[in-house]
């Protein structure tokens, strides 16, 4: 297994495929292991792998992904993953792209374990109207390195993250942090700005949580990101807060940043249970 990537490209089984569907195969490394269980992947690496597939599928100059939704359809196992992507709704100015992660179930039958969809829009040069509604975060230089305590910080995926806290986790109100990872998404590739952001964006529910991860499970079932600007650089800033209903269901809402300022917003559903 690679020590420097979340996924290693591999070769899938022989067979015919739909010519309209692009297919790739990957083997997850130990760096994808979830905070919530040692037999499944954390939601961030699969989300980033789907974002990569969506971004590459039918990519054209002067277009970019603007809304990306990732649905986690069940536990993503630590087994070989097939990535399928296709253009659901083609168009010159607006198109809808879809990607799925497939893995073998307990009976050996393949099934979709995660699904992503994204709107790709045509872009034009309009710098005069550029505006960000969210105020910038303080720079990374003003953030403090996290001081890991407890098993939560010492699982496969979480150990790959470099956390710099701007506010204490669990404090009242929104919490803010900068995150990055030196782990490549796919072995042998240099991640794009979008891939780097999606490699950590799923952590928003942890940044905004008011619950201690040693005592509570708070798994998100999905995430939706709207991007008004393409992210760049290694660091992703997250300002987020989670609200909890009285029935074990919560919602994380937050803003995403690169070092030049805000780039978009993120929402996640969260299922809360005591450990």
For the chain, domain boundaries = 5-122+139-274
pLDDT at 196 over 50: yes
At the top level of CATH, the class of 5-122+139-274 is mainly beta
Mean pLDDT of 20-38: 91
Buried b (16+ CB within 10 A) or exposed e, 10-25: eeeeeeeeeeeebebb
DSSP state string for 212-264: -TTTEEEEESEEEEEESS---SS-EEEEEEEEE-TTSEEEEEEEEEETTEEEE
pLDDT at residue 170, as a whole number: 83
Q: What is the pTM of this model?
A: 0.94
pLDDT tens for each residue of 68-112: 999 999 999 999 999 999 999 999 999 999 999 999 887 778 899
pLDDT at 1 over 50: no
Could you tell me which residues are beta bridge partners of residue 219?
A: 271
pLDDT at residue 107, as a whole number: 79
pLDDT at 148 over 80: no
Contact 61, 123 (CB under 8 A): no
- pLDDT higher at 34 or 247: 247
How would you class 141 by CB atoms within 10 Å of its CB: exposed for 0-12, middle for 13-18, buried for 19 or more? exposed
pLDDT at residue 87, as a whole number: 97
pLDDT tens for each residue of 205-258: 999 998 887 788 888 999 999 999 999 999 999 999 999 999 999 999 999 999
In the three-class reduction of DSSP (H, G, I as helix; E, B as strand; rest coil), residue 155 is classed as coil
pLDDT at residue 162, as a whole number: 94
pLDDT at 271 over 90: yes
pLDDT at 19 over 90: no
pLDDT at 131 over 70: yes
Confidence of residue 2 (pLDDT cuts 50, 70, 90): very low
Q: What percent of the chain has pLDDT over 70?
A: 95
Count the neighbouring beta carbons within 10 Å of the beta carbon of residue 61.
Answer: 6
pLDDT at residue 146, as a whole number: 84
pLDDT tens for each residue of 150-176: 656 677 899 999 999 999 888 889 999
């Amino acid at each position: 297994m690679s020590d420097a990537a979340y996924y290693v490209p591999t070769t899938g089984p022989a067979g015919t495929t739909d010519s309209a569907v692009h297919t790739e195969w990957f083997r997850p490394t130990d760096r994808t292991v979830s905070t919530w269980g040692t037999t499944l992947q954390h939601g961030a690496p699969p989300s980033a792998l789907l974002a990569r597939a969506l971004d590459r599928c039918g990519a054209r100059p002067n277009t970019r992904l603007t809304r990306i939704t990732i649905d986690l359809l069940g536990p993503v196992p630590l087994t070989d993953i097939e990535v399928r992507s296709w253009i659901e709704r083609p168009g010159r100015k607006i198109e809808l792209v879809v990607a799925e992660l497939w893995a073998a179930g307990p009976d050996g039958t393949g099934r979709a374990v995660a699904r992503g969809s994204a709107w790709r829009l045509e872009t034009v040069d309009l710098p005069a109207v550029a505006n960000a509604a969210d105020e910038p975060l303080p720079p990374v230089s003003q953030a403090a390195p996290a001081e890991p305590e407890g098993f939560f910080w010492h699982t496969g995926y979480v150990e790959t993250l470099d956390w710099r806290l701007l506010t204490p986790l669990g404090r009242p109100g929104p919490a803010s942090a900068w995150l990055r990872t030196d782990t490549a998404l796919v072995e042998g590739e240099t991640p794009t700005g979008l891939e780097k952001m999606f490699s950590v964006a799923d952590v928003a529910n942890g940044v905004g949580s008011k619950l201690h991860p040693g005592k509570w499970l708070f798994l998100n079932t999905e995430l939706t990101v709207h991007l008004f600007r393409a992210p760049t650089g290694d660091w992703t800033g997250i300002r987020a807060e989670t609200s909890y209903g009285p029935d074990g269901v919560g919602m994380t809402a937050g803003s995403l940043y690169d070092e030049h300022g805000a780039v978009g917003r993120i929402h996640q559903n969260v299922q809360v249970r005591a450990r």
